[in-house]
A = this chain, B = another copy of it.
Amino acid sequence: MNKINLIVADDHQLFRDGLTALLNKHPFLNVLATVEDGLELMNTLKKETLPDILLLDLSMPNMNGFEVLKNIRKKYKTVKAIAISMHDDGNYIARCAEYGAFGYLLKNTDETEVIDAIKQVYNGGKYYNQDLSRKMIDSMAEVKSVRKLTKKEAEILEFLSKGFTTKEIASKLYVSTRTVETHRSNMLKKLEVKNTVELINKATTLSLI
């Protein structure tokens, strides 16, 4: 059996190194490289041998895990990504599945499960454990009903989440306050909430923000 080549992507060096130390105890695994964000990853893939498996943290600076997944699927079809996240969140999981991740692991999983997942994915399978699959299905209904926010809406949401007032946002975007209010109000309807604080809370849990 050939060695399985891996790359580990996570923004916390300690986690990265720890995980590598852990993986390296297994003689059939070979960690080719570790990177701290999506950008570095893409550069590494350009230059080095392609790995069989990519262990990918979702929350990274520069280019997050979701972006990475999209890119990988386009440019490096042979690389199979397994997401590693600390969020036990149906929406995250669903998005990973959608973007073509071959597996999803929680950071509070154990060594055995990681190894299992790697083996399974390497052999052509997928690894989403039951608990996670259920969460994903639960969140589906909700996510679908939300569709997406439009560009302008997302832009305004961004400002709202930083605490800017309607007036401030209007002047930044060179539109009338009414327009900003309309966009906000449309978002309230889309997400079925009643005020800005709830909007931001919900947008956050749906990772729209």
Contact = CB atoms under 8 A, between A and B. Distances in A.
Interface of A: 11-15, 17-22, 25, 36, 84, 86, 105-111, 114, 160-163, 165, 193-198, 200-201
A18 B13 contact: no
A22 B22 CA distance: 8
State the number of copies, please. 2
A57 B146 CA distance: 36
Contacts of A25: 21
A197 B196 contact: yes
8 contacts: A11-B108, A14-B107, A14-B108, A18-B18, A18-B21, A18-B22, A21-B22, A165-B195
Contacts of A36: 108
**What 10 A-B pairs have minimum CB-CB distances, sorted nearest first?**
A18-B18, A163-B198, A12-B107, A21-B21, A163-B197, A12-B108, A13-B108, A21-B22, A18-B19, A18-B22
Most chain-B CB neighbours within 10 Å: which of A161, A197, A201? Answer: A197
B18 A15 contact: yes
Contacts of A17: 18, 22, 110-111
Given A36-B108, A108-B36, A110-B13, A194 B21 contact: no
A30 B186 CA distance: 58
